[in-house]
Each structure stands twice: as structure tokens, then as C-alpha cells.
Amino acid sequence: MCPCQNGDNVATDRNEMVSVDLSNKPKVNGVNGVNGHTNGVNGSTAPQQRRNPYAPRASDFLNNVSNFKIIESTLREGEQFANAFFDTKTKIAIAKALDAFGVEYLELTSPAASEQSRADCEAICKLGLKAKVLTHIRCHMDDARIAVETGVDGVDVVIGTSSFLREFSHGKDMAYITKTAIEVINFVKSKGIEVRFSTEDSFRSDLVDLLSIYQTVDKIGVNRVGIADTVGCANPRQVYELVRTLRGVVGCDIEVHLHNDTGMAIANAYCALEAGATHIDTSVLGIGERVGITPLGGLVACLYAANPEYVKSKYNLPMLREIENLVAEAVEVNVPFMNPITGYCAFTHKAGIHAKAILNNPSTYEILKPEDFGLTRYVSIGHRLTGWNAVKSRVEQLGLKLTDEQIKDATAKIKELADVRTQSMDDVDSLLRIYHSGIQSGELEVGQREALDRLLKKHREESRAETEVAAWV
Ligand SMILES: CC(=O)SCCNC(=O)CCNC(=O)[C@H](O)C(C)(C)COP(=O)(O)OP(=O)(O)OC[C@H]1O[C@@H](n2cnc3c(N)ncnc32)[C@H](O)[C@@H]1OP(=O)(O)O
Ligand SMILES: O=C(O)CCC(=O)C(=O)O
Ligand SMILES: [Zn+2]
């Protein structure tokens, strides 16, 4: 289990990961502990508020990085993930969790997919959630007729416009697509619910075709148009340019749906917002067709970096981990180790240079504050990359009195041992305690490596003897 996830103060359940929760740490170098934000390194008087380089620039008048809505599609796109099978109970649990987190919309699988999909859609509509409930259909009157009877707040209509999909999927030309889109949109609108029209495979579609159909549906009063990077081929610049062009052509909201085949989905979503998109599709852990779409957690991390207060005010951030665990369990995968926010070591700092600065001011090496996500920061100590400042913080936590010179001497021994194997937290603690008592008793002085080795050996033998006695009892 990840030390960041077990909630204990000291993580010792992985030998190679020697981490310590420094949240209750006393003053270090004259400044507050790691959770207390300081006025700068080593207590300097630099101003606390620094300009956030990730914040939107005032000159970007289209920028919606601090003004967006999430359309959470775990229960639609996510159901297209290879491992996904959501029974009704699981769908309801996911829907409620996402609603409590604060997403603005939930998108559900087409009720035309199966009888159970239709029944589940109705059941979720009846939950009385704060989030608006949408369902996702083909651009076809048969699907639209079923969808509007489920009780949804809106219908997301999609049809492929690229030559690939026109030729090999539905086989329809742009004239047919436009005519059917108008019919379906007018029908859904006549039921008094929201309607969105999206072109599938937008980035491999002809720009003139795209702008023409978006303009047509905007004129007849669609609530949103959607751009879909169905195959994950787009890059941030292309996304920016297409959304910005579209922003100049339609007055309605703009949604983007971005696949992650080349790892661009979060960056693309960010650029879409910069260019004026209003809604971003996500799924928990990014699950969906192939490698899925923009992950909810990663998007939240990225947008929090731009404007923490805005993101904190909209979403219940400490719920993120629970939601990811719920979905991970439902689809039988692990949360990836490098997942933003909730990954195995998202808030663990290791190298001595990092540890020192983090202890003085966490913002030196953190753009996300773990406490805003209900998580804890760790500093890893028992390895060859450690430094005396990290060791000093542990000495203070243990309540030991050692001079800086003595701590540097003890650190040299930790590094020597860690060159052979990573030291567990217990190993580091014992060494520090033995070092301390050696100094107290006068058996040890700084630099007396042989004396220290003798004390460590004696301790090892005593521990072994104790273990043997315990085994006999
Ligand atoms: C990119 C995306 O992820 S889009 C969303 C994908 N979601 C889904 O596919 C939902 C789950 N799908 C299903 O349950 C089924 O595919 C259904 C019920 C939608 C259709 O099932 P079937 O009628 O058996 O057709 P099948 O799945 O084999 O083929 C798709 C059909 O939809 C048509 N089609 C495909 N896309 C569209 C579209 N966007 N709008 C209208 N028709 C479409 C195809 O031409 C084909 O029609 P055909 O039966 O005349 O050949
Ligand atoms: O409806 C949409 O906008 C997107 C549909 C979809 O899942 C895709 O194109 O990848
Ligand atoms: Zn998709």
C-alpha cells in the first residue's frame, strides 16, 4: 500500500520506502513545519504571495481556465473501457460519488444500447442528484425517442463527420448528416431538455464541413456543440486553433471530448479552455475506449494549478481518492503509480536537496498542496540520496538532542549503510537513537566511526538475542 494512502503518521509497510509524515513537525531552521507555509526559505522575509505562473493571463479574453464545467462520462465513455462492467448498484454508487464531488454533469450510456442501460438511466435520473444527467445517443430519431423518455436533463447527440467514418461507419454524406441533426435537435428541444450536437472524429474532418454544420445547429438553438478527438490524434496547438475558430462562429457553449492515445488529453483540455471551450468531458482515471479520455483527477490537478481557489470552491477535492478507488475496484485496475494527486508517491519527496527546501517551504517543490486533497506529504530519509537537513527533521521528531555537526556525522553513516541497501524507518530511528545515546554516555564522539560501528553491532546482537528469547517463550 502506498505510504501516502495509509493515513498513518509513519509509513513502514514497504522496506524500500522510508517516509515520514512531517505534518506535525516543529519549527525547522526557524520557520514553521512542512504544513505551515513560510515567508520563504530559511525564514527569509520574501512575500508569501508569489505570482502563479500557471494562472490565466488577463489578456486572454477567451480563456475559460477559471470558468468551466465538467461533463463526467465514466458512466458512458468509461463503460466503453475494456474491463468495465457496471451493474446498477455500482453505477448508482459512482453517480452519487461524482455528484458529491461536485461535477456539473453526468453522461450515461445510450438507453438504446440495452434494456438494462435504459433502466439504469431511468434509475439514475430518479436519484435527484444536483448534477444534470445526460445520455449519449447516435444522431438518429429512434435513439432520440428512447432517450427523451428516460427523464434525463439533456441529450448528447453525436455523428461522425470524418471521411473515415462517413465511408466506413455510418455511410452518410454531410447533407444527410445535417438534415438528420436538425430533425433530432428540434425533437429533443421540443421536450424542453438540453441538447448538444457533436461531430465524431472532428480533427480528421474537413474544417468547412465542421464549421458549416456547427453554424447550422447553433442557429436552431442547440445548447452546446462538441468537438471530439475520437482517435487522440490532436495536439494542444491544433485543439487551441480549432476551438478558437469555432468560438468565432457559434454563440452556444463548446464542449470538448479528448482521447488520450498519445498522452495529450489533459494538455489538450487545458488548451481547449484557453481557447474558449466551456465544457470538458472526463472519466475517472481516464477510462474509456482504448486508453480512454481526459482523466478527472489529472484535469483537476491541472486546473487547480492554474487557480486553486476556483477549483477548491467548485469541487470536494478530498473525495477524489475515494472516487478513484471506487472506479478502480469496479473495473479491476490499480490506480497508476504516476497518477496526479493520488499516485503512489505523488507527495513523497526523496532527494536531499528537495527535502531541505520542502521542509523550509513546501511550495519549493509542490504545485499541489496535499492537504487540499485530504492527503499527506512525506519526506523519505533512509536512502543514499538523503541529506542532513532531512535527518535533522527526524532527529527533532524523535525528540533527540544532537548538534548539527553530530547530525551530519550520523547522516554520513546512514548514507554508508544505504549504499548497501535502502534503510527502513526503523533502521534510521535505531541508528539515530544509538548515536544519541553514544554521545550522551560519552562512548561516542563525532567522527569516531569504529566506536559507532561497535555500538551498532552491540545493538544488533542484543536485538537478535531478544528475538531468540521471544521465540522460546
Ligand atoms: C466514438 C464513440 O464512442 S460513439 C459512442 C459509442 N457508443 C456506443 O456504441 C453505444 C453502445 N452501442 C450499442 O449498443 C450498439 O452499437 C447500438 C445499439 C448503438 C447499435 O447497435 P446495432 O444496431 O446492432 O448496430 P452496430 O453497433 O453493429 O453498428 C452501428 C450502427 O449505427 C450506425 N451509426 C454509427 N454511428 C452513428 C451515428 N453517430 N449516428 C447514427 N448512426 C450511426 C451505423 O451505421 C450502424 O448502422 P447499421 O445497423 O445500419 O449498419
Ligand atoms: O459525443 C462526443 O462528443 C464524443 C463521442 C466519443 O466518445 C468520441 O468521439 O470519442
Ligand atoms: Zn470517446
DSSP per residue, 202-226: GGGS-HHHHHHHHHHHHHTT-SEEE
Residues of the chain with pLDDT under 50: 1-47
- What integer pLDDT is reported at residue 127 of this predicted model? 98
Give the pLDDT of residue 49. 60
Amino acid 58: pLDDT? 61
Query: Is residue 340 one of the residues assigned to a domain?
Result: no
Indicate if 236 and 349 belong to the same structural domain: no
Same domain, 112 and 46: no
List pocket residues of ligand 2, CB cut-off 6 Å. Answer: 77, 136, 156, 158, 198, 200, 226, 228, 230, 257, 259
What global pTM score does this model have? 0.90
Cα 371 from chain centre: 14
pLDDT at residue 11, rounded to an integer: 34
Is 357 inside a domain boundary? yes
Instruction: Clarify whether residues 176 and 239 are in a common domain.
Output: yes
Q: Are 129 and 274 found together in one domain?
A: yes
Residue 471: predicted pLDDT = 79
Same domain, yes or no: 156 and 293:
yes
- For ligand 1, atom 15, the nearest C-alpha belongs to 113
Which helix (H) or strand (E) element contains residue 379?
A: strand 378-380
User: How far is the centre of ligand 1, averaged over its atoms, from the C-alpha of 137 (Å)?
Assistant: 9
Pairing state of beta strands 378-380 and 19-21? antiparallel
Residue 84 lies in a domain: yes
Task: Label the pairing between strands 348-349 and 10-11.
Answer: unpaired
Q: How many helices (H) and strands (E) are present in the chain, helices listed first? A: 16, 12
Is the Cβ–Cβ distance between 254 and 243 less than 8 Å?
yes
Catalytic residue annotation: 354
Best of 140, 239, 281, 293 for a ligand 2 pocket test (most atoms within 8 Å of beta carbon): 281
Provide the pLDDT for residue 59: 63
Mutate to test the pocket of ligand 1, among 71, 118, 138 (most ligand atoms within 8 A of CB): 138
Report how far ligand 3's centroid is from the alpha carbon of 92 (Å): 22
How many domains, in total, are found in the chain?
2
Atom 50 (ligand 1) nearest CA: 170
Is 3 part of any domain?
no
Counting ligand 2 atoms within 8 A of each CB, the residue from 71, 72, 75, 77 with the most, and so the one to mutate, is 77
Strand 253-258 and strand 19-21: the pairing is: unpaired
In a domain, 428, yes or no: yes
Measured in degrees and rounded to the nearest 5, phi and psi for residue 254 equal -125, 125
| Atom nearest to 113 CA in ligand 1 | 14
- Same domain for 101 and 141, yes or no, is yes
Take atom 3 of ligand 1 and give the residue whose Cα is closest.
77
For residue 201, give the ligand 1 atom closest to its CA: 1
pLDDT (0 to 100) of residue 47: 46
**Interval between CA 170 and ligand 1 midpoint (Å):** 8
Residue 99: domain span: 69-306
> For cell 530519509, what's the residue?
381
Last residue of a domain, one of 306, 337, 355: 306
From the CA of 158, how far away is ligand 1's center (Å)?
10
Same domain, 279 and 422: no
- Say whether 156 sits in a helix, a strand or coil: strand
Rounded Cα gap, residues 408 and 50, in angstroms? 33
Same domain for 42 and 91: no
Between the alpha carbon of residue 51 and those of residues 42, 56, 293, 360, the distances in Å are 20, 11, 31, 19
The residue from 281, 306, 331 where one domain ends is 306
Query: In the prediction, which pLDDT does 16 show?
Result: 34
Which one, of 355, 430, 427, lies nearest residue 34 by Cα? 355
Ligand 2 atom 4 nearest Cα: 228
**Does residue 96 form part of some domain?**
yes
Distance from the CA of 187 to the center of ligand 1, in angstroms?
Answer: 20
Kindly give the number of the ligand 1 atom that is closest to the alpha carbon of 109.
Answer: 10
Same domain membership, residue 297 and residue 151 = yes
Q: Of the residues 306, 331, 361, which one is the last residue of a structural domain?
A: 306
CA distance linking residue 191 with residue 187, whole number of Å:
7
Nearest residue (CA) to ligand 2, atom 10: 230
On whether both 140 and 16 belong to a single domain, the answer is no
Residue 170 belongs to some domain of the structure: yes
- Asked if residue 272 and residue 400 are part of one domain, the reply reads no
Task: Report yes or no on 103 lying in a domain.
Answer: yes
Same domain, 464 and 413: yes
